[in-house]
Amino acid sequence: MPSSGRPGASAVVTGGAGFIGSHVVDALLADGVSVVVVDDLSTGLADNVAGEAELQVLDLSRRAQLDRVIDAAKPSVIFHLGAQASVVVSVENPERDCDVNVHGTLNVLEAARRHGAAVVFTSTGGAMYGNDALRPTTEDSIPAPQSPYGASKWAAEAYVNTWRGSHRVEHSICRLGNVYGPRQNPHGEAGVVAIFSHLLWRGERPTLFGRGTPTRDYVHVDDVVHGLLAAVGSGGTFNVSTGVETPVSRVLEVLQDEAGTAIEPGLAPLRPGELERSCLSPERAHEALGWRAEIHLEQGLRQTYRALTATFAAAD
């Protein structure tokens, strides 16, 4: 692994056809890194992958297929973003959630071990810490996941930490806040910024689950990418977040203003496994990595709405 902590000549990005992963791919290519994307396209889109990157469509739980791809790529770093990331799906099908998030991570770690490649693993923040953690929540807080998704990410983290200690490769864990930005998928229960933007663009009524009171730590995807790159070779666990707690009703308010709409939202209770409050402390990442989120939420939401709706219009 390069001593500078930056990616070397080659990298693998699992989940690289997805929302966050495709932005990581773009940043690596801009740095002159050769990139292989691994994605099963269950939620990601091939069109998100830049033409300069190589796309391999496969399931992370299929170890033999993954081994062939990584052995051919010979990466110096693996950004492991591929996951079953739906809280609702994890409640409905915890076996599949575990297979992808735990077994898939073990497969990535074993492939990385053969090449001495550092892994940057993206974990969850709010779903890891639970409702009762002090806020802003630090990395030293004892995890208390409320869903199988959170539990699977915690288990995967344990494998990352164990492999780091056993094989002396500085794998890193980044616990992400609620990421938003261009390319976010509006079709699902996650990604409230994209969901709201799509509904407002269509003139349809959004729903505030939890009746608008749940809070999250919203962080722009550009800031997240910078955080993931900064974490290469660090060998630590970091919240990649803003430290600012924002109610979901405020997100809708800003997006309505940008959209020029005043649609009365529907109100509904939280769905199973969802948190009431979440806010993560980014101080460790700032002190150890020199990273801090720079995009203010209102600015980021307005920019994101414009980018997303341009995509919606092009696809319509």
Residues designated catalytic: 149
Q: DSSP for the chain?
A: --TTSS--SEEEEETTTSHHHHHHHHHHHHTT-EEEEEE--SS--GGGS-TTSEEEE--TT-HHHHHHHHHHH--SEEEE------HHHHHH-HHHHHIIIIIHHHHHHHHHHHHT-EEEEEEESHHHH-TTS-SSBPTTSPP--SSHHHHHHHHHHHHHHHHHHHHT---EEEEE-EEE-TT---SSSS-HHHHHHHHHHHTPPPEEEGGG--EE-EEEHHHHHHHHHHTTT--SEEEES-S--EEHHHHHHHHHHHHT--PPPEEEPPPTT--S---B--HHHHHHH-----S-HHHHHHHHHHHHHHHHHHH-
